[in-house]
Amino acid sequence: MAPRKVRLMATVIKGLSVNDAQAQLATNPKRASEPVLKLLQSAIANAVNNAKMDASKLIVKEIRVDGGPMLKRWLPRAQGRATPIQKKSSHITIVLEESDKVKAPRFTMAKKVEKITKSKAETIKKVAAKTEKAEKAEDKEAKTKTKTEKAEKTTKVAKEGTKRKMFQRKSI
């Protein structure tokens, strides 16, 4: 992704607490927010596990986005010409710092969801299939009731309709 696009996300989280930065990146619709969020989570894990820092005290001290290697491609154009395409990439450097001031977190980030095993998935599928069958049976019963009601109404309307047709005025 181009450094210019990633820098937009980098400026958003610079100076924020780690919790606030995660919330900003998780809710931002830009495409660059996802890789920056993954990088931030990795940096937090490294700080907690390797440097034995407290995750609640961490802030984003510095974040730098530099240009990475560029893939150069060509796009064919009219009359035998070609236009260059530069597929840009970026190097992101993030520095976290432990602050003395501890603020209460404004947001709570959800933990990662557990991976579902095959046996759990099978039981979930069975339960879903049973509920679908029950819903289909209820729908069929409701449809048959409505069909019989409609048939009764149409017969009444048909009897009255013949009288109306005999004495109906022609539209002008």
Q: pLDDT tens across 102-134, in order?
A: 777 777 777 665 666 777 778 888 888 888 888
**Higher-confidence position of 159 and 151:** 151
Position 158 pLDDT exceeds 70 = no
Instruction: Name the average pLDDT for the chain.
Output: 85
pLDDT band at 65 (very low <50, low <70, confident <90, very high): very high
Q: Within 13 A of 31's CA, how many CA atoms are on the CB side?
A: 5
Is residue 7 left, alpha or beta, with left meaning phi > 0 and alpha meaning psi from -120 to 50?
A: alpha
pLDDT value at position 143? 77
Choose the weakest-confidence range: 24-28, 61-65, 89-93. 24-28
Q: Cα-flanking dihedrals φ and ψ of residue 110, to 5°?
A: -70, 145
Pick from 38, 33, 39: nearest CA to 12: 33
Choose the weakest-confidence range: 56-70, 109-123, 130-144. 109-123
pLDDT value at position 30? 93
Position 4 pLDDT exceeds 80 = yes
DSSP code, position 2: -
CA atoms 36, 37, 42, 46: torsion sign: positive
CA atoms 50, 55, 60, 65: torsion sign: positive
The neighbour count for residue 9, using CB atoms within 10 Å, is 26
